[in-house]
């Protein structure tokens, strides 16, 4: 057993914290006996927390509902889905990759009209100054070459009864900012956009207006990602949940919004190698480059806890996770 100030981990990968009690994942997963590596998703350790201050009974019921969706989606069978690219070139021209090419989303719509949605943000590191941004590979700064059709597995092709026909959306990463930026030219001498937040906003608008997200009561959304995508999901979870409430009519159609963060837990510690750039330095630089400290940009509860010069901490997993406000937050 591993115990930290925030988490209790079981090294077998079979237990999580739920309502303050250690709970066996296998019991919650019903007939499924194992939880194992599944392409984009790895669940060796997990922690489930409730965040909202609502009536205990209502909160507990919603927590268990979303937890079941998360756990069920992690059962790894050899399934895959075909996704079609929806380009934002015409509908959202301001949503751009770092080289100015249009963003877009890969979507696999439910064949049964399911009200469940999985939104997954791709990872791929980030850059934090002119040198590292100029060194980014072309595949991570541009949408040029994105295929019109792609096949994805893992969380995007769940086989559990609850999610087998959920709408699934995959966002390819090309903004190099862990999905937080809204700056067209952070560098004065060359064009390199960091527009991850703009990209996410375009996705939410398009899903609501063109694909019917939230058009029926009981809509459930899982906002997720891996690595830099997980950090993006963490930093944007408050924005996304609130933005959907303004886009969906009536807002009460959004029954539950939860997040799954795969490998987002950055710690504010010095690196072992003196040649490595500390995480805190990278975060501070990206925080400044992307203008993430602007009022109302990051989670307001976190920014209130870390005002002024400490605002960058709301882009560091160790600090930011404590202020996620979804009904359930699962951190890996």
CB proximity list for 83: less than 8 A, separation 6 or greater? 106, 107, 108, 149, 150, 151, 152, 156, 168, 170
Tokens of 80: 């895959």
Output the pTM of the full model. Answer: 0.77
User: In DSSP terms, which residues pair with 115 in a beta bridge?
Assistant: none
Would you say residue 126 has pLDDT above 50? yes
Q: What percent of the chain stands above pLDDT 90?
A: 60
3-class DSSP state of 327: coil
Largest CA distance in the chain: 58
Which of 29-38, 151-160, 237-246, 319-328 is the least confident region?
29-38
Q: What does the alpha-carbon distance between residue 118 and residue 255 come to, in Å, rounded to a whole number?
A: 14
Tell me the HSE value of 103 on the side-chain side, using a 13 A CA sphere.
32
Instruction: Identify whether the C-beta of residue 113 lies closer than 8 Å to the C-beta of residue 161.
Output: no
3-class DSSP state of 121: strand
Looking at per-residue confidence, does 315 or 190 come out higher?
315
Mean pLDDT of 155-177: 91
DSSP string, 149-176: EEEE-GGGS--STTTTT-EEEEE---SS
Helix H segments across the chain?
Answer: 25-28, 56-73, 130-134, 196-211, 228-247, 279-289, 300-305, 317-320
pLDDT of res. 326: 62
Q: What does the alpha-carbon distance between residue 131 and residue 129 come to, in Å, rounded to a whole number?
A: 6
Instruction: Identify whether the C-beta of residue 178 lies closer than 8 Å to the C-beta of residue 126.
Output: yes
DSSP string, 169-221: EEE---SSSTT---BS-SSSSS---B-HHHHHHHHHHHHHHHH-TTSSTTEEE
Mean pLDDT of 263-291: 92
Phi (first) and psi of residue 301, to 5 degrees? -65, -40
How confident is the model over 227-260, as pLDDT tens digits?
A: 999 999 999 999 999 999 999 999 999 999 998 8
pLDDT of res. 262: 87
Q: Tell me, what DSSP letter sits at residue 292?
A: T
pLDDT of res. 186: 87
pLDDT of res. 157: 86
Tell me the pLDDT of the chain averaged across its residues.
Answer: 79
Q: What does the alpha-carbon distance between residue 196 and residue 180 come to, in Å, rounded to a whole number?
A: 5
CB proximity list for 140: less than 8 A, separation 6 or greater? 98, 124, 125, 173, 174, 176
CB proximity list for 43: less than 8 A, separation 6 or greater? 13, 35, 36, 74, 332
Which of 16-30, 238-252, 255-269, 274-288 is the least confident region?
16-30
- CA-nearest of 332, 297, 93 to 224 is 332
- pLDDT confidence band for 327 (50 / 70 / 90): low
pLDDT of res. 1: 27
- CA-nearest of 34, 28, 32 to 63 is 28
Rg of the chain taking only CA atoms, in angstroms: 19
How confident is the model over 66-107, as pLDDT tens digits?
A: 444 444 444 333 578 999 999 999 999 999 999 999 999 999
How confident is the model over 199-231, as pLDDT tens digits?
A: 999 999 999 999 999 999 999 999 999 999 999
Instruction: Write down how long the chain is.
Output: 332
3-class DSSP state of 19: coil
Tell me the HSE value of 140 on the side-chain side, using a 13 A CA sphere.
18
């Amino acid at each position: 057993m591993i115990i930290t100030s925030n988490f209790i981990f079981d090294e077998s990968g079979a237990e999580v914290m739920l309502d303050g009690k250690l709970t066996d994942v296998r019991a919650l997963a019903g007939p499924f006996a194992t939880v194992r590596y599944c392409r984009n998703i790895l669940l060796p350790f997990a922690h489930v927390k409730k965040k909202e201050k609502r009536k205990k009974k209502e909160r507990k019921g919603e927590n268990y509902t979303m937890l079941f969706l998360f756990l069920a989606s992690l059962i790894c069978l050899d399934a895959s889905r075909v996704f079609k690219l929806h380009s934002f070139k015409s509908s959202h021209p301001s949503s751009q990759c770092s080289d100015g090419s249009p963003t877009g989303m890969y979507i696999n719509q439910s064949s049964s009209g399911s009200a469940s949605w999985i939104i997954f943000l791709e990872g791929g590191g980030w850059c934090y100054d002119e040198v590292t941004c100029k060194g980014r590979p072309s595949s991570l700064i541009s949408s040029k070459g994105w295929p019109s059709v792609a096949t994805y597995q893992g969380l995007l092709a769940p086989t559990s009864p609850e999610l087998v026909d959920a709408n699934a959306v995959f966002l390819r990463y090309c903004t190099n900012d862990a999905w937080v930026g809204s700056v067209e030219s952070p560098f004065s001498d060359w064009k390199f956009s960091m527009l991850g937040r703009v990209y996410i906003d375009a996705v939410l608008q398009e899903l609501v207006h063109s694909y019917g997200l939230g058009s029926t009561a009981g809509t459930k959304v899982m906002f997720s990602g891996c690595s830099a995508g997980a950090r993006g999901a963490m930093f944007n979870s408050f924005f996304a949940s609130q933005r959907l409430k303004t886009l969906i009519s009536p807002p009460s159609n959004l029954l539950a919004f939860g997040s799954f963060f795969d490998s987002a837990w950055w710690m504010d510690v010095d690196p072992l190698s003196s040649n490595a750039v500390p995480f805190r330095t990278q975060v501070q630089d990206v925080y400044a480059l992307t203008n993430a400290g602007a009022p109302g940009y990051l989670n307001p509860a976190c920014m209130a806890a870390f005002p002024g010069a400490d605002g960058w901490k709301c882009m560091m997993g160790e600090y930011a996770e404590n202020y996620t406000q979804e009904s359930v937050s699962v951190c890996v």
